[in-house]
Structure 1
């Protein structure tokens, strides 16, 4: 067996949506069990992502997910919530890495050395694997949330601020899984407060 160098790839999914958590994954690939076709999860079809996610889970030395909830996103801001989700993913690995490759330009606070790589999900296989696991996990969760909070189209757009989503927000209102610190949601809530204050005065 080749010497196993414990380097974890780390990535997150869900910084841009108006609803739902941000989900991160950490993966330590096995040197003797290569996985072909790893790439930025956004460049893969849904079917290909799901196939690769299963292969990653079977072949990786270890993998784990981490998350930050909507309340944490609103409290911390999306950048710090994303870093927290990444930190939680690494902490959940059954084998701790000696080094971590982080997609982006900021590193979370980790007990091991870390390196931020812009575009790492396209250039580093371990980060690509993490991006795939995170996206498949979050997409599945948003499909489940679509059943609990129908009408917003969450299964289709996964919480991103599409025209359909923004229109549904205006018609249905803000749900418990919407990020209140994000512009379109914040604006709607502010409008509702103004409307309620005017009604109270009347």
Structure 2
């Protein structure tokens, strides 16, 4: 799986320092499987994207339509995946914060301020950071980041579904739905599962067979 997506370098503008404020959001902290996706976006005030909103309030079709528009119109954007093995090593909170640091560090032009959805700001940022509770509903740059992260992660889960169809990743995206828990009990975890998460850990404690690539 690709670890991060390329910056859309053709659209950078360096003449508007006020515009260099990045919105940051994540998708996939709660699932039992798959990566956590983090996106950072610097929007261009001269090229607004109509219809931005919290990704959770948008239909899948609308998110998919906005995804390329954000990439085309933004001054800069970056999407980073933190994979299950690193999540298990760091824990999900620290893995998410690390993804935010990486996404912001890869933006060019560099932001002068990062507005981050939630109540925590990662340490070690190369710019000032500001936590915005509910930011994915009020801050356009965070809305854009939430859409990029959600769409990118959903697409990644479809890729994992093609490899491990017995878990139904295309439907529940790795979240602990009854169908996913039943599949986990029947098949045991696969390499895409987060072994530090309690339901996966319990399946290992019960001796469920770990699925390996065929």
Q: Which residue of 2 aligns with 1:28?
A: 42
Q: Which residue of 2 aligns with 1:62?
A: 76
Contact 1:65/1:88 (<8 A) preserved: no
Residue of structure 2 aligned with 1:10, choices 13, 17, 24: 24
The 5 A counterparts of 1:49-198 are 49-109=63-123, 110-192=125-207
TM-score by length of 2: 0.88
- 1:19-54 superposed Cα distances (whole Å, 9 cap, x missing partner): 001010000000101111111101100010011111
TM-score by length of 1: 0.93
In structure 1, list runs of 5 or more residues that go unmatched: 196-202
Contact 1:101/1:114 (<8 A) preserved: yes
Structure 1 stretches of at least 4 aligned residues deviating more than 4 Å after TM superposition: none
> Is the partner of 2:108 in helix, strand or coil?
coil
2-side partners of 1:143 and 1:189: how far apart?
A: 24
CA RMSD between the two structures? 1.5
Structure having the larger proportion of residues in helix: 1
Deviation (angstroms), 1:94: 2.1
Aligned length: 194
Greater C-alpha Rg: 1
> Is the partner of 2:130 in helix, strand or coil?
strand
> Is the partner of 1:151 in helix, strand or coil?
helix
In structure 2, list runs of 5 or more residues that go unmatched: 1-12, 210-214
2-side partners of 1:141 and 1:192: how far apart?
A: 28
